[in-house]
Structure 1
């Protein structure tokens, strides 16, 4: 049988919007914590100053509070957070002027009103700064983080793509040399020179489409070359190899030429020639 109910040691602190209660009970079991008529009712079994017993207490708050306390238990204590209905500073915790014997300040969390106001101001500024940062971050990260996510892999693949020129030279594949040179060096110029050196271009959504058009084309081209080297022809793959490029090449060229090269070259023009001067009337 458990012994008679006892009062645990309770430490409290406050902020303008919250009350913090720390109940010195370890191994808490079956906690029953409610707020009715602005009175906090606590009852739980745990190990306190009087050993393993049932402990309980009541606190009638000085001013109105929200009726839903938030509790968090650890092995050594139980923490209760209560929201004030109005944001202000209380001169004491309880409605009765005389402080209950089981109640004491929580000096680990205690702040004066001026310090609490400064803390509140810092939190508000931090919240505003966080909102400003989040407002600048695009919602769809897949478009804007493409370069930083797979740039190393694209560098590696496009460096290996130089072998296409060698394969054409030695006749390993039947691709004409000039188109291979134009394609490989064109892509490498976009990747290494423009995207690799201009940081403002790396977060543009057009990078996603450039890499996408490049990759989807090679999904059919390289398997076709591989099978051709061993004398195997698979008609569906052959059809895809010579058909998929029809919509993808113009789209890729549009993305590279209009959105990347044009932007880069126009920026270089402005740097060297300066902005266009307006004629004075």
Structure 2
């Protein structure tokens, strides 16, 4: 009679980060250890003391996504720790290709993090590295750190003063003139708004040069979007300058910025006000979508004006017609505007979650 020996599998626990997979094999006094990764399958074989006593144990795992063939491991008296690097930095929904989890596999709750916690851990590591890098030039050139903070503080101060002037001016005029203030907003506010929005180009340059840690793309989406509304829609069309939508666009912009810029000012001098921090990470939730909605109304109101005046129209060959109205470009821009809203809203929401999660951790 032929007797088939049952394959013995040890208890295996797993966890992940964006770049690595961690495996903990419950096997003590390990001998003849053989671990390899080939064709994206990890194979493990060893002799040791496990759930079935002293025996030879083995298992294999076919990973969900590609991993690097190099495997690092460390054996202790109680277990074998294995680290496998992912080919790409990403978060996996599960460990293996097969949806049904193997019976011998379980989460390693000692190392388990969900995706947002892993992002926070990664950010904390980056911040520690950045703090070291920021301190390094200051050791030899103490004025470097002072110049950087001084520049950022002054930039945020100037923007805060500019948008505060806009907000206070519009609020006072609203109380004095009522609805009449809607229709001459552009003529009284535009010069200061031009100044602030031209200066806001620095918000794209600063992260590109590494002066601040925010992303370049979210800043570019906001700066370019606002400048299209200000310079192209309002600035080039006199017919738009007397419309009430100008008031709502400018007012919503200034309400957001009179909170954002003082928050950054205090951050430059390593200071924080709890109320201001809460407003910085909360006030955008209603105001940002309302601002985009007001901008969309301005674009829609400008479409027939561009069709009529043929301003910025694109010349075409005679066979195709005289020109292509700029309004078609703006219709495409409307779609991109709401796509930008989604991207920036998601970015800001993640910022908010990370900020308040970090504060809770510090409190505990």
TM-score (norm 2): 0.36
- Larger Rg, first or second structure (1 or 2): 1
Q: Relative CO higher for 1 or 2, CA cutoff 8 Å, sep ≥ 6?
A: 1
Q: Which has the higher helix share?
A: 2
TM-score (norm 1): 0.46
